[in-house]
Structure 1
Amino acid sequence: MSDHPERPSVPDDVWERFARDSERDIRASAPKEPSARARLVTQRLRRQDEQGVRPGTWRAPTASTGRRARRPIWTVIGVLVAAAVAVVAMRPSLLPGDPFGTRSAADTDTARLPAESGQPTAPPSSTSTDIPTLQHPFAGSPALNWAEGESAIVTPRAEPVGTMTKSQVATALRLTKTLLVDANLNPDTLSGKRPTAALDVLDPQQPSVLSDLKKSLATPSQKYDPLLLISRFDPRQARLVGKTVKVRGRTTFSAGDHGVRVHADYTFVYALSRGDSKEVTRTIVRRVIDTELDDPARYQVTAGRIQLIRYDSYWGNTACGVYDGYLHPQFLSAAPSGTDPTGPTSDPYDRSKDLGKADSKTCETVSRT
């Protein structure tokens, strides 16, 4: 006979209760999915850390909530819980959603918006607080899903209008697109070089327009400002991130006073960086131009050239009171340049409002970039 008495066997109902309690404790101690706001804040801070922006330049969230972290309940089955956590760490897809914020809107939200068929009725909503980076320069911007570059400027099918033939209307549309592309999308133009193709489509017989533009490029000033028609950045201060420029807008045509008039309304979004900094900012430019191709059989004009009837502009995120012929985007990590804005706060992405007559003396505060 053994010197030690046998241990009593455990009844089946006790083992079943132990198993149920253990399963409940595992579920209670499993990682909880963070709230959507918590994920956004974590994502924003991670983006800023990647950019190397100093904490002093961080933009604090407008509101915050305090929540206590719930500690896991470790029991005698702690080893099993640790094993489960290790499995989830290796395969986070086992958990629903994206609890650890490993995916960003910049990675997943890439569906292109349909072409703009008419004037919007409201500004685009704010759907993300992602911070732009060198890898994702349009993160957090309504322009993320806009079309890109020259292909975003879609001209309508040419049709005869008034005394102008279908071929003449097609020419007017083609020349207007050339003007927009070379003045706002050509990498050489954006880096400060002369927009030769844009100048070449303009009628030299139109009084003052072409000569004033050439003067503004040679000796820019408040009176002669090339930015009224042309987008340019000083390469010593800012450079494009990648080759992508986001574009949204529309082109229409109608009978003009002397031929066919083309109306173009487009917003261009430029992502920029400076020097060796990882910080990315954006400048938004909206152009509204009316051109006209006159009938050379009836009027004294240059065949195959267009005349500028109207050209209004809006710039979002550029230094105020600087008239050196360049857009000057503002960076959080750099001291602000220019003068303080004196105009009202505006949303540079809002295309629901008509663009009034350009006034280079008015500089507004932008609500977002």
Structure 2
Amino acid sequence: MVAVGLAVLVLRPDLIPGREGLAPEPLAAETARPSQAPPEEVIPDRPTLKEPFKGSPAAAWADGAAGIQAPPAKAVGWMSKAQVADALRTVKTFLVAANIDPVTVKGGRPTAALELLDPEQPDVLSVMEKALVTPTEEKDPTLLFSRFDPAEVRPVGQVVKTRGRMTVEKGERAGEVLVHTDYTFVYPLVKTRPGADEVARTIVRREITFALPDPARYVVTKGSLSVVAWSSNAGNSACDRPAAGFFRPEFTEDLVADPDPGSEGQVVDPYDRSKSLAALPQECATSSRT
């Protein structure tokens, strides 16, 4: 759901003198949890096909893979500095394949991401394989992959805005190193209907922890990743539709046709990265902005 407000006051805020052509300054890379959410504009500009991130804090974020920056590598636990650097590159490759790769985003099979999941951890790989074929509410591929139904929507342009960070630490289990990732991805979309020009954005935040076990202690596949924890939150994705393996962005025209499509609960700012996902409501919530 999207909170809709202020439209009765200014229907075309993009026409206010002085607002055009003001590109935001790019933000420096995130290195720690922010202390607060990005400021909200009282009357945000509306996104357009030419400027799909207009009116969004993500306009100042990095484009795609450039927003996934690994920290400087150093030796941790059983891993040397070089091994950590290699593992962080693999983690980035997975995140890009799962959330930015056009094939994945356009609803295709996230083959490149699946190939990085360790087959020795079948409880994750097999679940995702089955979820891609027969998604259910409990086993939905969007738990790990950002996918949209190509029969309903298409991305606007080639850019997915990205912001977040990753950290490395020694795990509690002997011979295990953990990589914690926390990233938000912003997707501008338009309906595939001929002549459609309304742009809606879906904002997906993911917290994923990858385990890197010592092959001298555990049975693992070299160059692969084990996912030991994940959580996600999607701003502006319909909650009341049956699971189909896709995020379901809602458009203003949908809300006009059905002003109460079933979303209830608290209001959540999908751009707020100052809190862990565990602190957010677990039930369907309303997005304060997109």
How many matched pairs? 274
Per the TM alignment, residue 353 of structure 1 is displaced from its structure 2 partner at its CA by 0.6
Could you list the runs of 5+ residues in structure 1 that have no partner in the other structure? 1-56, 63-99
Q: CA deviation at 1:104?
A: 2.7
The 5 A counterparts of 1:1-369 are 59-61=7-9, 101-104=16-19, 107-127=21-41, 129-256=44-171, 257=173, 258-274=175-191, 275=193, 276-322=195-241, 323-334=243-254, 335-336=257-258, 340-356=262-278, 362-369=283-290
Q: Could you tell me which runs of 5 or more consecutive residues in structure 2 were left unpaired when the two chains were aligned.
A: none
CA contact (8 A) 1:313 1:358 kept: no
What is the deviation of 1:126?
1.4
Secondary structure of the 2:158 match is strand
TM-score (norm 2): 0.88
Which secondary structure state, in structure 1, belongs to the residue aligned with residue 181 of structure 2?
strand
Distance 1:110 1:185 in 2: 22
Indicate the structure with greater helix content: 1
Whole-Å separation in 2 of the counterparts to 1:230 and 1:132: 24
Query: Any idea what SS the aligned residue of 2:284 has?
Result: coil
Deviates more, 1:334-343 or 1:195-204: 334-343
Deviation at 1:261, TM superposition (A): 0.9
Distance 1:116 1:204 in 2: 32
Identity of aligned residues (%): 47
Superposition deviation, residue 270 in structure 1: 0.6
Structure with bigger gyration radius: 1
- AA aligned opposite 1:288: E
Rounded Cα–Cα distance in structure 1 between residues aligned with 2:35 and 2:151: 39
> RMSD of the TM alignment (CA)?
2.2
Contact kept in structure 2, 1:172 and 1:260, CA below 8 Å: no
Q: Deviations over 1:65-117 (max 9, x none)?
A: xxxxxxxxxxxxxxxxxxxxxxxxxxxxxxxxxxx845435x21232011111
Change (3 A) 1:337 1:151: farther
Alpha-carbon distance in structure 1 between the residues aligned to 2:223 and 2:260: 41
Using structure 1 for the length normalisation, give the TM-score. Answer: 0.70
